[in-house]
Amino acid sequence: MSKNIVSLENIAVSFDGEKVLNNISLDIKDKEFVTLLGPSGCGKTTTLRTIGGFITPDSGSVKFDGKDITSLPPYKRNVNTVFQRYALFPHLNVFENIAFGLKVKKFSDKEIQRRVGEMLELVNLKGFEKRSTDRLSGGQQQRVAIARALVNEPKVLLLDEPLGALDLKLRKEMQIELKRMQQRLEITFVYVTHDQEEALTMSDTVVVMKDGDILQVGSPVDIYNEPKNAFVADFIGESNILSGLMVKDLLVEISGKRFECVDTGFGENVGVDVVIRPEDIKLTDEKDAELSGVVQSVTFKGVHYEMVIETYDHNWLVHSTKAAEPGSTVGITFDPYDIHIMNKMK
């Protein structure tokens, strides 16, 4: 178990009297890739800026390596940031941008040359030293921003939707590259994104946020398989979310039918949210299933077909490698351990 490098304790932030962070607490472990995930406006950037020192919280404290740094200005923190829109210095070329932090810290010219050279190699920008930053593509600007932060060898790197402006292919490449860098340099990454797929593929730990609250913290597998509530389940991946009734332990009622499940401890006759992943549903012959519905649409998605099956009270999303006949009636089945039961959201 490694130590905590950053700890947020009961952080509250408000803008113009509007609460943006509601007393959130979060421990970030050393050398970990942590992702803050949530819809736009949920407070991810605000959380990141609080760690960076750009926002002083109304209450609560920020600890770094065990020391309280709540009132320390950004330039005294051993943390660097890759900003949402890169924020490169327009009056400086690529080399000067990357060297900026080292010059401020009065490193020798030789050391600066060496370190910036190393960084340019790491981010694949050798030969671009003299280039003005406005003559770089989005992907290249992105890599300058990363190099400019990493060259200072911070203990923690904060990244605010760093790949948001890139096209899909480049984004996928950069995801792999960033993850590789993080592992090689053994730096803690705190990464902000609203893209659940990005969060799941890159992170050691995912922090799901909504409306200034942290809903769940866990490994990507945990978050995916054991979402704490319907919001997390929905946000993490397209899902079937139904209102259900927990009849008793190991028995749940959905759409008026009773199903065996593996969950206990919710009480008897308690309203719950039920989540069933589209890929966990098997289509069968109508008479072999409790639930049946009409195939509304079939869309080919490359690896699988995405189908919508309409039962009398729900449109089921189903992923399968076999396509059903549109308009036909099919049965819907799932295994007990694929039924995820969660408390109703407040």
Residues that bind Mg ion (CB under 5 A): 45
H or E element in which residue 205 lies: strand 205-210
Question: Is 46 a binder of ligand ADP (CB under 6 A)?
Answer: yes
Planar angle of CA 156, 183, 221, nearest 5 degrees: 95
- By a kind-dependent CB cut-off of 5 to 8 A, residue 231 interacts, out of Mg ion, ligand ADP, other proteins, none, with none
Closest of 229, 234, 177, 167 to residue 202, by C-alpha: 177
Of the ranges 4-12, 24-32, 43-51, 88-96, which one interacts with ligand ADP (CB under 6 A)? 43-51
Nearer to other proteins, 150 or 295 (CB): 150
Residues lying near other proteins in the complex (CB under 8 A): 52-54, 73-75, 79-81, 83-85, 87-92, 96, 100-101, 103-105, 148-149, 152
Closest of 269, 228, 233 to residue 252, by C-alpha: 269
- By a kind-dependent CB cut-off of 5 to 8 A, residue 85 interacts, out of other proteins, ligand ADP, Mg ion, none, with other proteins
Joined tokens for residue 313: 């009270």
H or E element in which residue 343 lies: strand 340-343
Closest of 209, 213, 242 to residue 344, by C-alpha: 242
Nearer to other proteins, 54 or 305 (CB): 54
Q: Which of 5, 6, 11, 20 binds ligand ADP (CB under 6 A)?
A: 20
Euclidean distance between CA atoms 276 and 263, whole angstroms: 14
Q: How many CB atoms lie within 10 A of CB 187?
A: 21
Judged by CB under 6 A, the chain residues 296 through 335 that form the site for ligand ADP are none
Nearer to other proteins, 54 or 224 (CB): 54
- By a kind-dependent CB cut-off of 5 to 8 A, residue 91 interacts, out of ligand ADP, other proteins, Mg ion, none, with other proteins
- Residue 285, φ and ψ in degrees, nearest 5: -65, 145
Q: Which residues bind ligand ADP (CB under 6 A)?
A: 15-16, 20, 38, 40-46
